[in-house]
A and B are shown apart, each in its own frame.
Chain A
Amino acid sequence: MTTQPTQTVTRRNFLKGSGVAALALWGLTATTPAAASSGAVDDDAFGMLIDITRCHGCNSCALACKKANDLPLSQDPPTCLDCKSYSYINECEAAAPDSAEQTRYVKRQCMHCLHPGCVSACTVGALRKTAEGPVVYDSDKCIGCRYCQYACPFGVPAYEWNNPLGLIHKCEMCFERLQAGEQPACVEACPTGAIQFGRRKDLLMQAHARINFDPDRYVHKVYGEYEAGGTSVLYLSDVPFADLGLPTLSDQSVPHYAEGMMTKTPVVALTVAAAATGLHFARKDKGHEAADHVDQEDAS
């Protein structure tokens, strides 16, 4: 082997190379702000409280949503979330307290999680949790990878399948209306007061007050208070939430483990690079010796 003449050059170049790598890593960690999904949740952020017992399923909210978001209107009210419907009424047959089967109307839309999986997952940061509460979407950044659909426990982000340059569509809690001092379109349209808009902490207080005031009427739980780390949209119900098609979720936020790993990226990179460098120099001479006597045991 003629390694000796080149050895010092190799080492110098290696140091250069690892210096560049370390700089790049430093840049990676130093120049980018933490994703909004991990940031502190603003106590004054907005939310919505949906009282299932007050909803009669008139679909005014779904219609108002379509108008507010310029979505195409159809003959029948929407029956699922898709790229043309950001909100719909899910009709559920639930066992009512008096054990008779009764229809419940569950208004569904984006839950605007406090620590949204979609925001954490988005490759290009097109999704963002605003300080005001809504999870908003920047269609100019989106590359259509659809990872957000997998990171959402509520099946909210919808893709525009019939467009060759399709994008993601979701409820933004009428963020533009909020900025103009208005309420979300669905809240304004609701004739029974089943959807209330306000600061999340006030809504939570109100929800618990309603349960305490009429404990026989409500399930003693506010859905969304803790689910998936908490959501900006909250539900009150007189029947178990599982009967309403709302997923049973742990209190842990969706990105909990993934973000824990991702923040370790620079450490992992430097550890691997250092270990590989160390191994390279430690084994440099041994390796050349070993090459001369190939494993005799298996050579036969």
Chain B
Amino acid sequence: MTSQTPTLRQTPFALPTFNRESVIVSLLAILTLVGGIAGVGRLFLGLGSTTALSDVYSWGIWIGFDFLLIALSGVGFTMAAVVHVLHLEQFKPALRPAILFGLLGYVAVLLLLVLDLGRPDRFYHFILFWNVHSPLFEISWCVLLYTTVLAIEVSPYLSERLGWRKPLAWFFRLITPVTIVGVTLSSLHQSTLGTLYLNMPHRLHALWYTPLLPLLFFVSSVLAGLSVAMLVYQVAVRIRRKPLETSVLTGLGKGVAGVALFYLLLKLADILIAGKVAALFAFDRPSWLMWAELLPGVLLPALLLGLPSLRRKPLMWWVAPLLVVVFAIGLNRFNATLFAQVNLPGDALYTPHLLEWLSTFGILSAAALAWYVGMRLLVIFDSRAEKEFGH
């Protein structure tokens, strides 16, 4: 367990005068405000006048960021599984920043989805009208249920802050089934996001289209989860001015390296077995996009965190997970949604509308801001209840 002495005094939420923290927070608040106005505007004006979407490029950056954010929010189920299923208790300090990121990530996902829906007033229809063969149907249900699971998982952070003992006791009794339900729901929809693209054999470039897509999406969500866990833990200890436990980061780093290598092997095996080597070495646009995923996104972070001498360097704890987030996950989800979509009419083009950018960054900023407030106000480190109620 942690060697710090538990302290009752939590940092009160008050904006500092003028430093880096307050500048970032103010910036996020402004982006949230502007994005909120843009988002509400879109709901009243419709998609035609507020987006660059068309019948050919019908999904744009909202969906791109949505699918990216679901993968990144995989940090919630990944860390819950690490701590509560695998019982690797040494990673407990990184658990709560991760779970809260997961919850707010999914809330942002839901907001982005509502913006993208042609009929946002009917967002609940998937509860009434079922199509069990539809990947989006399953994803909708899982996201709804898993967001609820995350809310339950976050609840003790608030209960303890407010001194509510009964809900706390209940939570710690239920933590195992709650975690397992969360891991199950996540495994389902993270892989089903890959299945979603299996319905596009005519549109998705062969380098990406493979029956392995569900497995690739699931494994990459674990890769994303471990990377985001490293990042948010480091930000959280800075916000709360706690000492950094380096073993947490080197341990997670090992995990990132291992999963990255496994993911790389899967991708290469698919390319080899399906006879797509020529496409990989075609050095056309799709080929470069795939290289950009594999080298800086997967192989490089695997090396940076796989080699013990590099893994101990604090710089790598930022660089490697950021490379994963941007290239292995971010570029991959945008390739699948936009850049690797082929066989489209030649004159089709999609340059996102300013309002799409503003509303996207508004929602992302709101989530970041809420996470920051959570880090300041909730019980994140050295939970006394956890010690008292066991687990």
Contact = CB atoms under 8 A, between A and B. Distances in A.
Interface stretch (B6-14, B98-106, B136-144, B365-373): B136-144
Contacts of B84: 280
A60 interface: no
Contact of B89 (A146, A149, A288): A288
B123 A82 contact: no
B132 interface: yes
A247 B202 contact: yes
A96 interface: no
B176 A280 contact: yes
A263 B214 CA distance: 13
A254 B132 CA distance: 16
B122 interface: yes
B271 to A, nearest CB: 17
B343 interface: yes
A294 B389 CA distance: 23
Nearest to A165: B119
Interface in A248-284: 249-250, 252, 254-255, 257-259, 261-263, 265, 268-269, 272-273, 276-277, 279-280, 283-284
B125 A141 contact: yes
A290 interface: yes
A160 B200 CA distance: 22
Contacts, number: 265
A287 interface: yes
Nearest to A162: B48
Contact of A254 (B178, B199, B247): B199
Contacts of B390: 1-3, 5-6
B173 A124 contact: no
Interface in A149-175: 149-151, 153, 155, 158-168
Interface stretch (B55-63, B285-293, B323-331): B55-63
Interface stretch (B27-35, B181-189, B353-361): B181-189
Interface of B: 1, 43-49, 53-56, 58-59, 81, 84-90, 92, 116-119, 121-123, 125-126, 128-138, 140, 172-181, 183-184, 187-188, 191-192, 195-196, 198-203, 211, 214, 246-247, 250-251, 254, 308, 311-312, 343, 345, 387-391
Counting from the closest, the 7 A-B pairs by CB-CB distance are A144-B118, A287-B87, A17-B177, A291-B89, A164-B46, A298-B250, A161-B48
Interface of A: 1-3, 5-6, 9-11, 13-14, 16-18, 21, 28-29, 32, 34-35, 37-38, 81-82, 117, 120-126, 141-147, 149-151, 153, 155, 158-168, 228, 247, 249-250, 252, 254-255, 257-259, 261-263, 265, 268-269, 272-273, 276-277, 279-280, 283-284, 286-288, 290-291, 294-295, 297-300
